[in-house]
A and B are shown apart, each in its own frame.
Chain A
């Protein structure tokens, strides 16, 4: 019988009535009278937890303990302690890790927003294929390795289910950095952005993929890469100018890694777009265009003090317009921006 089958058969029978569990006494919670926020546990949950506490207290390493952790996790996947215990059991029992991953994948569909599931995956994957071993083969070979291929598939499905699943994207960053899967990541990011140009998780991932593990504080983006990113962003702005993500992405990227290109390259492209009949109305109405101009002018003024007076004047006018017409909800921020101009 596989573990799962025997589990199902046993689920109906309480542990206390099972021969296998006679040797150990469950440890009850101290629920003294007048506990605050007491939870009315089901008998089943209460019993599972009683036995869990008992096996953990003696540090038991056994198949029955492993099966018990699975049942507890299915009742309460947020129980971080049982995950730590399970991880240890899987290691010490030398369980089949691929099967363990199967089981984790099964559970995940029920609990997409659970953190511990993803964290458990991390430890399993690194055991299945040590990152140091992965380094010795090419990225193409790494991507097709069954372990990683499976993870990428799993991630693809999770992100398909919820395109902004924070845990999924976060785990994805771990996987991509640990196994250096940078090239394929840019492709994936592009697919996700094209699926929904407003998916900010995808745009954040683009920054992550472009930097490819370089230390952000030390990167100077190559000119041709910066230019191609600008083109990429402009193409996606065209789809819907009133979309924060591409604007934040490109201004953030350039501010950090190629600041002069804000005004040498980005500025002419967006001005061109704003002058284009097809986009003029939308560009004029979106606060993100004007906000980008402010960021650009600020950098330009800092780099070329001779242009400062003119740029500050233009910026003040933009701030006023944003505060009074284009982006009223954020007027206090725009007024702050305006006063900051005088001091920058």
Chain B
């Protein structure tokens, strides 16, 4: 049954309003004003058919937005001074997903910029003269994956990186994000992504990780940053992706997780919220959308089974509501301004909804627990072209991406090929 647009799908507050329901109603009002332009007049109340041909991804505008940012950011961005690797990653990845070339000048620029964030003691920092940070490390490594090339990969000091990651390791299996920093599942994700890409996975590094992530699952079914804290889309992706890397998604109550994840898709807006009774936000297109792709694998579902969410409704939300036509780039929701973060995550979510990137349950590799089976397990993910579903004009199609790593498949494969040709760090493992 195809999903139509209808005012019937609007939130029913049971004539008992609270701050939550009032905010939801306001958002629906603004989304409704947008959506109604895409359906035939008079049909909206009972189930209007969305005219998808009106939906277009304005690549040129978004590319301009990103390139302007790469060229320079205003003084107000000093608040992101400790997130500089992210600025490069968000930019490079947004361009790559849209199929834009990263020419050799940009490549050199990116490489030089990111290299300056690497700390002698290991890891990458949020900026020069700062402490190394797991998130900055993750963003730097991913930026280098997009830059690509042996020189970029060779610039990463694997040995120091491993030593530093181990100093972040905590007794409960999780990791502090920096010396004296917070411990949460986001840190776990950053470590496992980096370690699995750089071929520095060890049993020691990942010990206790699955147990910690499992404890982050709340009674609602989603995952929070730390045991006990509210289930949240971002942390759910982090936890689920981390478990996928080590082949341990089964430690979660997948049924309860599926229920919570499904509820993230908003009936009227079509996009995802990050928590129960919170508002839709374009960035969850990746956090929750990506989690659905991983869940597909965890439940051994096939492309014929299709995803457990409405891919078309999600794409409509991104295309109709998240594009900022004033300044270019993508945004959280109408009324908010575009930014690099929402641009990248909106595009990632769009990609994962357009393409079916999955693993054929039939071709599963048997040894799933060895840390050295990581590249094999991650490289089983591929695009199933027959299961593609691109909403709007066909030129809306963007590059397929890996749900766990959040980057396109070719640069990822090249990175894995490079690092797994190197010897692992500790021969005894």
Contacts and interface: CB of A to CB of B under 8 A. Distances in A.
A and B physically associate: yes
Interface of A: 27, 29-30, 32, 34-42, 45, 49, 52-53, 56-57, 75-81, 84, 87, 115, 119, 163-164, 166, 169-170, 173, 177, 195-201, 204, 207-208, 216, 239-245, 248-249, 252-253, 255-256, 282, 285-286, 291, 323-324, 327-333, 336, 340
A32 B265 CA distance: 45
A185 to B, nearest CB: 12
B306 interface: yes
A324 B55 CA distance: 26
Contacts of B82: 76, 78-81
A262 to B, nearest CB: 13
B112 A32 contact: yes
Nearest to B268: A329
A41 B260 CA distance: 43
Contact of B308 (A27, A29, A45, A333): A333
A166 B230 contact: yes
B410 interface: no
B167 interface: no
24 contacts: A32-B112, A34-B108, A37-B70, A37-B87, A39-B72, A39-B80, A40-B72, A41-B78, A53-B128, A57-B129, A77-B79, A80-B82, A115-B182, A166-B230, A166-B232, A196-B18, A197-B18, A204-B231, A252-B221, A286-B12, A329-B270, A329-B313, A330-B265, A333-B258
A101 B113 CA distance: 37
A45 B78 contact: yes
Contacts of B220: 204, 248-249, 252
A268 B133 CA distance: 52
Given A84-B178, A204-B231, A324-B1, A37 B218 contact: no
A169 B229 contact: yes
Interface of B: 1, 3, 9, 11-14, 16, 18-21, 69-70, 72-75, 77-84, 87-88, 91, 105-106, 108-110, 112-114, 116, 125-131, 133, 177-182, 215, 218-221, 224-232, 255-256, 258-260, 262-263, 265-267, 270, 275-278, 305-310, 313
A45 B73 CA distance: 14
Given A37-B73, A328-B9, A42 B78 contact: yes
Given A29-B129, A37-B113, A40-B75, A173 B219 contact: no
Q: Which 8 A-B pairs have the closest CB atoms?
A: A252-B219, A198-B20, A333-B262, A37-B87, A53-B129, A200-B276, A204-B230, A81-B130
B129 A35 contact: no
A328 B109 contact: no
Nearest to B147: A36
Given A35-B112, A76-B81, A333-B262, A200 B178 contact: no
A59 to B, nearest CB: 13
B277 A340 contact: no
A207 B219 contact: yes
Contact of B20 (A29, A49, A199, A239): A199
A78 B265 contact: no
A173 B181 CA distance: 17
B70 A36 contact: yes
A252 B215 CA distance: 14
Given A29-B128, A39-B75, A84-B179, A253 B219 contact: yes
B78 A75 contact: yes
B258 A34 contact: no
Contacts of A81: 82, 125-126, 129-131, 178
A102 B283 CA distance: 35
A197 B20 CA distance: 9
Given A57-B129, A80-B82, A333-B259, A241 B109 contact: no
Contacts of A40: 72-75, 77
Most buried by B among A198, A239, A241, A331: A198
A37 B91 contact: yes
A340 B308 CA distance: 13
Contacts of B88: 36-37
A96 to B, nearest CB: 21
Contacts of B259: 291, 333
Given A81-B126, A173-B229, A255-B256, A38 B78 contact: no
A161 to B, nearest CB: 12
B70 A249 contact: no
B278 A78 contact: no
B129 A27 contact: yes
A15 B257 CA distance: 54
A38 B16 CA distance: 50
A338 to B, nearest CB: 12
Given A199-B277, A240-B13, A249-B219, A30 B128 contact: yes
Contacts of B230: 166, 169, 200-201, 204
Contacts of A37: 69-70, 72-73, 84, 87-88, 91, 113
Nearest to B6: A328
A245 B277 contact: yes
Contacts of A84: 131, 178-181
A79 B72 contact: no
Contact of B12 (A42, A166, A173, A285): A285
Nearest to A118: B182
A243 B21 CA distance: 9
Contact of A196 (B20, B215, B232): B20
A195 B17 CA distance: 11
A208 B75 contact: no
Contacts of A166: 229-230, 232
A327 B267 contact: yes
A292 B126 CA distance: 45
Contacts of B72: 37-40
A285 B266 CA distance: 16
A34 B113 CA distance: 8
A73 to B, nearest CB: 11
Contacts of B84: 37, 39
Contacts of B83: 78
Nearest to A84: B180
Nearest to B232: A166
A196 B277 CA distance: 11
A45 B87 contact: no
A35 B230 CA distance: 39
Contacts of A207: 218-219
A207 B127 CA distance: 40
